Structure 1
Amino acid sequence: MKNLLNIRYFLIGLAMSFFALSCVDLEEQVYSDVLADEFFQNEEEFISALGAAYRSLGGLGNHSGLWSINEIASDEIVVSHKGGDWFDGGVLLQLHQHDFLPDNPFFQNSWNFLFGGINTCNRLIFTFEGSDNPIAPSFIGELRALRALYYYWALDAFGNVPLVTDFADLEAPSTRSRQEIYNFILTELNEVIPLLPTAKDASTYGRMTRWSALMIRMKLYLNAEVYTGTPQWALAAADAEEIINSGPYSLMPIYKDNFVINNAISSENILVYPYDKVFARGFNWVMMTLHIASQATFNLTQQPWNGYQTVEEFYNSYVDPVRNPGVQGPVWKGLALEQSPGTLDGRLSNFLVGPQFRSDGSRLTDPGVEGNDPDGQPLTFMPFLNEISPGGLRQAGARIAKYEFERGGTDNMSNDFVIFRLSDVILSLAEAKFRLGETAEALALVNQIRERAGNLDPFTTLTEQNLFDERGREMYVEMTRRQDLIRFKKYGEAWWPFQGMNRPKRVHAPGSHWELFPIPEPQILANPKLTQNPGYN
């Protein structure tokens, strides 16, 4: 059962939210005048207004925003150009090929998502500060933590961004350095973490708590060498240990149960956005990844778009390297994975592969274009990807099945979108320990994750490579991979092997300008105080 309190404040917050989508335009139209000392009389009224800031998170689960730029620019996800479908002016190809251009609308959408959320937090902080209610400071602290989350994502994606905290300041903001943004987020978190709630219950579900704020700080420290040039492994480990040892979280016995339709049951998820197909729509992965014919498999009310696919090499990383030494991956031959019995990673539930069927059990076929199927019938999702452009096969690529698809569902999913969960904390602690030379402790932590995955033997030794690989298998499409590739100095490797591209491959050294996305061109044109990131002028 969905948390009715959260649904209620999301709906009321959505109705009240009239905010600018860019930090360049800080003025908003006022539709009514509600004075803080007249409206905010009790907790319920604060929560109803607070929902607007959280509602901004609803952009995470749909196409062409922050999630898309992080995943398509990594070695996890590609959206191939399939004949007449999904070329879209080449914007998806340039994302995957690391040929980023400032006029790519995906960057503008991501910027608007981030600074729309920041602006809404600023507006509500400004409003709450006008209340003399003694509970106001606790809600201001929560908003500051949420604003820190938006700024953390902006820091990671764009690096050098404006710092806007005063809603009443109408002057156009200037660019701040990545170091300044890092320092701001850290200072904010240090001040508000002691003020945030610690409970894991209906009252805090989908909201910032001490544990989610600690996780933002842990992520800052984990990536500190990338962001500032100075590693902070011990501080990252300390925050991770506090979450693990003091937080109210535990690993779910079964990995995929963190992503079922009713995943509010998860004991592992630390921060989520509570989507709902009626009340809080926008989680569209079922449309983004499934084939158009998959409508008959799940009895969907809408026809999917046949877009997002898994990079074949990433899918193949799910082979068990302990039981299958030297095997490159679960090689696809027609319909079967070439692995020995008992060696399948339970996290292969992340993918939909193989023959596809209608809901009545009959074999599903691809109708093709005007009834002529250029890829061959019957419909079979193959991990194999022939090329990125222009002739990508419509059946190619393992599809994203991490979140359970609802039978009879709509184009909007009701699964809660997982932003942070405990297994990421455990693997982050393992990495911090490994880099500090505490390899025995790190090995035990990684094996804890492997044990939960099922059918996997424990590692006997831990290397940087198998630590990186285990993070990939566990955290697939959770908006961590691009960050991990950069931190492990693998982001510029030539991991895309296919021909038929419209632009050359990008192979770049660690620390190159491609590790930051460009400031969107519309923002630069609208605000001359903004400075483009190096390499994009």
Structure 2
Amino acid sequence: MKKNIFKLLMMCSGVFLASCTDLEEDLIGEIDQAVSIDEPSTNFAGGGNGGNDALSVAFSQLRDAGSANHGGYWSVQSVSTDEMAVTQKGGDWYDGGIWIDMHRHTFGPSNGPIEGTWNQQYTAIAACNDLLATSLDANQTAQVKVLRALFYFRLLDLYGRVKLITATGTDAPQSTRQQVFNFVETELLTALGIPAVTGAMDLSASPLGVEVNPYRVNQYAALGLLAKLYLNAEVYTGTPRYLEAANAASYVIDNSGYVLCGVGCSVPNPGKRPAVDTDPETLEGYAAVFAPNNQDNPEIIWSVAYDGVTGGGMNFHVMSLHYSSQFTWNFVDQPWNGYSALEDFYNSYDNADARKEASFIVGPQFDYNGSAILDYAATDGQLELNYTPEINELEPNASRKGGARLGKFSHRLFQRSEMDNDMPIIRLGEMYLIRAEGLARAAGDWSLAGPDVNTIRARAGLGAMPTLDADSFLAERGREMFMEATRRQDLIRFGKFDDPWWEKTNNDAYKSLFPIPQPQIDAANGTLTQNPGY
């Protein structure tokens, strides 16, 4: 069918928490020539909505719990790190300073996204509790309990001391962080049918199966989540569990049928513009893992099912791209020009690293027909849209073109306001990194991480690292896991979360835990108390 797309170059969209407040300044008029495009008539094979079975109502909460959209879990995990920032561009994106506070670690108990993230997880937990109160078989019960454990893992990581509510219509006292850790661990071990993780596990008693279905939980998904829990156990409880993390990850690597998506692992490029020769026909290796058509990727063990029509909740393209980047892929809706990668993080990649090109959008931008995209509201005299890695400042007048844009979850032509890319929760690439770190930390020898790190680097087209230490490992993990909501955990685990980075000098150690949201404390009748420091 035909779509008439008018070039409204600087109009802002009204969305939850998207700051587009200077309409008079930003709406600079419309080009009086419509661009008529033939949209492909075939249906796009996106990620789907995850299927329709007895567990759908609970698993759909993964989309609603902030896993890949603006304003909740993904945002607070990412903007609080050295990966990215939401810069204030004049009247745009100030939002009462909530994103500036998040980046600078000056947030407090009344920060909206911090409360929103709390509410998202407990809403999801309530849906799990409701389902567990119905008639489920052993496999279904185990799957839902692992799903609920994931949401409690998020709360454990973000807030520490939370309520363990396990039945509909009940309340619970505030648990210690150790108690929440114990609950998550027990739920996962029970689902796996084992008393503990060892180097020689027998999972034959597990009610979970081994069927490959990225939208449901199998043994490998549960083990992957347990590996992530043990990797951060020293932060959560003071007791290291690194060998168990390595053993859990190693079991997934050695016993499952999942493989790293490397050479020969490819999908057609849904973002291929016919008139732009530099657009590849296919996406291969790392780029294919996060593509709009990644639903069958052999590396993904457990993922959040997103689909632009039936399973919304991922909108990285509108969160990050400049308003006029709408015409790069002829999006249905105009982007918001919010999130950008930090220059130092972008520059940490070698230019030969395939992950760099796959993860960021930089340089001059061209439309569907290969013509330069113009920004008629440019204040620097440069009309052509050109993303620069440099950002002049966090606030109050950050460059509207500054900062490499988030491109790891790549785009497709005629994309709606919701994306089709599935978001990995557990993938094999991270299992290699968890095994590497677990072995190194357990033995106090970072050279033990070398084989697995170099496997990951080889997939990125890079040579082996001759030596490794904690800092070089953290940097390598950051390059692999960009945009997957793990950076905050990693910086805390490596003792770097208090360090300064661009436009951030606060070094308060207590910020490694978010505050319990003040509205929750006010409504709790004394059953919730605040985390220290707030």
User: Is the TM value for this pair above 0.5?
Assistant: yes
Aligned: 1:411 with 2:408: no
Q: Deviations over 1:19-38 (max 9, x none)?
A: xxxxxxxxxxxxxxxxxxxx
Please say if residues 318 and 345 of structure 1, whose CA atoms lie closer than 8 Å, have aligned partners that are also in contact.
no
Matching of residues 109-128 of structure 1 within 5 Å: 109-128=116-135
Q: Deviations over 1:385-410 (max 9, x none)?
A: 11000010000000000012011111
Aligned: 1:307 with 2:338: yes
Deviation at 1:190, TM superposition (A): 1.0
Aligned length: 452
Aligned: 1:166 with 2:171: no
Match of 2:223 in 1: 214
Picking from 393, 398, 406, the partner of 1:392 is: 398
Q: Deviations over 1:441-475 (max 9, x none)?
A: 42111100110001x22111111111111000000
Q: Per the alignment, in what secondary structure is the counterpart of residue 205 of structure 1? A: coil
Q: Per the alignment, in what secondary structure is the counterpart of residue 127 of structure 1? A: coil
Deviation at 1:78, TM superposition (A): 0.1
Q: Deviations over 1:259-309 (max 9, x none)?
A: 111101211111111111111112111110110000111111111000010
Deviation at 1:173, TM superposition (A): 2.8
Q: Per the alignment, in what secondary structure is the counterpart of residue 413 of structure 1? A: coil
Please say if residues 142 and 208 of structure 2, whose CA atoms lie closer than 8 Å, have aligned partners that are also in contact.
no
Question: Structure 2 counterpart of 1:199, which letter?
Answer: V
Q: Deviations over 1:232-270 (max 9, x none)?
A: 111111111111111221100111110111101211111
Please say if residues 255 and 347 of structure 1, whose CA atoms lie closer than 8 Å, have aligned partners that are also in contact.
no
Question: Structure 1 counterpart of 2:373, which letter?
Answer: L
Match of 1:297 in 2: 328
Q: Per the alignment, in what secondary structure is the counterpart of residue 365 of structure 1? A: coil
Distance 2:133 2:81 in 1: 38
Match of 1:268 in 2: 299
Q: Per the alignment, in what secondary structure is the counterpart of residue 346 of structure 2? A: helix
Q: Identity of paired residues, percent? A: 39
Distance 1:65 1:222 in 2: 24
Distance 2:381 2:80 in 1: 27
Q: Deviations over 1:318-365 (max 9, x none)?
A: 02xxxxxxxxxxxxxxxxxxx6xxx34444310000001111111111
In the superposition, the TM-score normalised over structure 2's length comes to: 0.82
Match of 1:199 in 2: 210
Question: Structure 2 counterpart of 1:242, which letter?
Answer: Y
Please say if residues 326 and 334 of structure 2, whose CA atoms lie closer than 8 Å, have aligned partners that are also in contact.
yes
Matching of residues 340-419 of structure 1 within 5 Å: 343-368=352-377, 373-374=379-380, 376-419=382-425
Picking from 230, 235, 249, the partner of 1:226 is: 235
Match of 1:482 in 2: 488
Q: Per the alignment, in what secondary structure is the counterpart of residue 424 of structure 2? A: strand
Q: Per the alignment, in what secondary structure is the counterpart of residue 302 of structure 2? A: strand
Please say if residues 261 and 404 of structure 1, whose CA atoms lie closer than 8 Å, have aligned partners that are also in contact.
yes
Q: For residues 222 and 299 of structure 1, do their structure 2 counterparts lie closer, same or farther at Cα, with a shift above 3 Å needed?
A: same
Distance 2:315 2:46 in 1: 19
Distance 2:382 2:184 in 1: 52
Aligned: 1:517 with 2:514: yes
Distance 1:150 1:481 in 2: 18
Distance 1:462 1:375 in 2: 46
Picking from 59, 68, 73, the partner of 1:66 is: 73
Question: Structure 1 counterpart of 2:157, which letter?
Answer: D
Question: Structure 2 counterpart of 1:150, which letter?
Answer: F
Match of 2:31 in 1: none
Question: Structure 2 counterpart of 1:363, which letter?
Answer: A
Deviation at 1:383, TM superposition (A): 0.5
Deviation at 1:198, TM superposition (A): 3.7
Mean CA deviation greater in 520-529 or 66-75: 520-529
Unaligned 5+ runs, structure 1:
10-46, 129-134, 320-338, 499-503
Q: Per the alignment, in what secondary structure is the counterpart of residue 271 of structure 1? A: strand
In the superposition, the TM-score normalised over structure 1's length comes to: 0.82
Please say if residues 355 and 479 of structure 2, whose CA atoms lie closer than 8 Å, have aligned partners that are also in contact.
no
Matching of residues 297-336 of structure 1 within 5 Å: 297-319=328-350
Distance 2:354 2:91 in 1: 36
Match of 2:139 in 1: 138
Match of 2:11 in 1: none
Tell me the C-alpha RMSD between the 2 structures.
1.6
Unaligned 5+ runs, structure 2:
1-44, 194-205, 263-284
Distance 1:490 1:459 in 2: 22
Please say if residues 46 and 292 of structure 2, whose CA atoms lie closer than 8 Å, have aligned partners that are also in contact.
no
Where does structure 1 differ by over 6 angstroms across 4 or more consecutive aligned residues?
Answer: none
Please say if residues 207 and 271 of structure 1, whose CA atoms lie closer than 8 Å, have aligned partners that are also in contact.
yes
Please say if residues 450 and 467 of structure 2, whose CA atoms lie closer than 8 Å, have aligned partners that are also in contact.
yes
Question: Structure 1 counterpart of 2:455, which letter?
Answer: Q
Please say if residues 200 and 248 of structure 1, whose CA atoms lie closer than 8 Å, have aligned partners that are also in contact.
no
Please say if residues 258 and 301 of structure 2, whose CA atoms lie closer than 8 Å, have aligned partners that are also in contact.
yes
Match of 1:450 in 2: 457
Question: Structure 2 counterpart of 1:187, which letter?
Answer: T
Question: Structure 1 counterpart of 2:164, which letter?
Answer: L
Distance 2:349 2:404 in 1: 12
Q: Deviations over 1:473-521 (max 9, x none)?
A: 000010110000000000010112x4xxxxx83023xxx2100001111
Distance 2:383 2:47 in 1: 44
Please say if residues 286 and 354 of structure 2, whose CA atoms lie closer than 8 Å, have aligned partners that are also in contact.
no
Q: Per the alignment, in what secondary structure is the counterpart of residue 390 of structure 1? A: coil
Distance 2:261 2:410 in 1: 16
Match of 1:491 in 2: 497
Please say if residues 161 and 175 of structure 2, whose CA atoms lie closer than 8 Å, have aligned partners that are also in contact.
yes
Please say if residues 240 and 429 of structure 1, whose CA atoms lie closer than 8 Å, have aligned partners that are also in contact.
yes
